[in-house]
Amino acid sequence: MYELYALRYATRQANRSDHFIGGDPHDGPMPMDYFVWVAKNADRAVVIDIGFTAESGGKRGRRLERCPIDSLALLDVDPAMVDDVILTHMHYDHVGNFHKFPKARFHLQEPEIHYATGRHMKYKQLAKSFEPDDVCGIVRLNFDGRVVYHNGPADILPGIRIVPTGGHSAGLQFVTVETRRGKVVLASDVTHYYENMETYRPFTTALHIDKMLEAFDTLRAHASAPELIVPGHDPLVMKRYPAPSPALEGIVCRLDVAPTSG
């Protein structure tokens, strides 16, 4: 059983039409938040996704509000002591900062590295979500024996399971974590916003739209109730879940307790 936290490290202004294939008839502001997640108990802390670096974010006009890894100290987590990091996929905003974990193993679905190093990266439309230095970094970590490639669902540790789904990237996976609230489904980019999943309108960064739609069903199949699913980029997450302390308001929220508002 784990405590489970979302740590918000960046945000950006965007519009509704940016987030739904086919646009949105009622276009208006719809900002995007960026998170890393931490599952923690007396034995260990597992970090799920590691955010973008100031450099790779800067190239894309994204600004860090705080370094996601330095900010782990807010949760009493020392990245030097972390043994297991789960990478939901290799897009730049999920996979930078691996250099800040000196001893961790990195869990990744193997199709993702093949895709990120394969022939499709010559197409800017597909490559733009990846940072070449991140991709090379993961390749190097593998040479050091520090990448665990999975080909399918797996129990990483007791109470923590990874489940691959296609659609948004070739080797995307979501993560389920046992908490006192039940099994929480960290969707990551399987659904960027609650609304993508609820209305079956996939996000605009898409590899296979059919698989993105099916992945919404897979999320639901792994959650005993829809409110146990946590989207990957939705500012509503910080609104719905409480901060662990007043000082962390707007920075960290607890996902192992019931949402405080709808």
Q: Which residue's CB is nearer to Zn ion, number 59 or number 103?
A: 59
The least distance separating Zn ion from the CB of residue 126, rounded to whole angstroms, comes to: 12
Interacting span for Zn ion (CB under 5 A) from 86-94, 100-108, 137-145, 243-251: 86-94
The least distance separating Zn ion from the CB of residue 133, rounded to whole angstroms, comes to: 17
Please name the helix (run of DSSP H) or strand (run of DSSP E) that holds residue 239, with its range, or none: helix 236-240
Interacting span for Zn ion (CB under 5 A) from 33-41, 64-72, 144-152, 187-195: 187-195
CA–CA distance, 140 with 162 (Å, rounded to integer): 23
233 makes contact with Zn ion (CB under 5 A): no
Q: Which residue's CB is nearer to Zn ion, number 189 or number 234?
A: 189
CB 164 within 8 A of CB 152: yes
Length of the chain, in residues: 262
Interacting span for Zn ion (CB under 5 A) from 4-12, 149-157, 186-194, 221-229: 186-194
Q: Which two tokens stand for residue 158?
A: 């007791």
Closest among 233, 187, 229, 249 to 30, alpha carbons compared:
233
Q: Which residue's CB is nearer to Zn ion, number 56 or number 179?
A: 56
Q: Which residue's CB is nearer to Zn ion, number 89 or number 161?
A: 89
The least distance separating Zn ion from the CB of residue 100, rounded to whole angstroms, comes to: 20
Q: Which residue's CB is nearer to Zn ion, number 91 or number 240?
A: 91
- Interface residue with Zn ion, options 49, 84, 189, 256 (CB under 5 A): 189
The closest residue (CB) to Zn ion is 91
Local structure of 257: helix, strand or coil:
coil
The least distance separating Zn ion from the CB of residue 166, rounded to whole angstroms, comes to: 13
- CB under 8 Å to 249, separation ≥6 — which residues? 243
91 makes contact with Zn ion (CB under 5 A): yes
Interacting span for Zn ion (CB under 5 A) from 7-15, 85-93, 130-138, 193-201: 85-93
Q: Which two tokens stand for residue 97?
A: 């900062």
CB 159 within 8 A of CB 3: no
CB 231 within 8 A of CB 19: no
Strands ordered across the beta sheet of 147-150: 147-150, 105-109, 84-86, 45-48, 32-40, 3-12, 252-254
Binding site for Zn ion (CB under 5 A): 91, 189
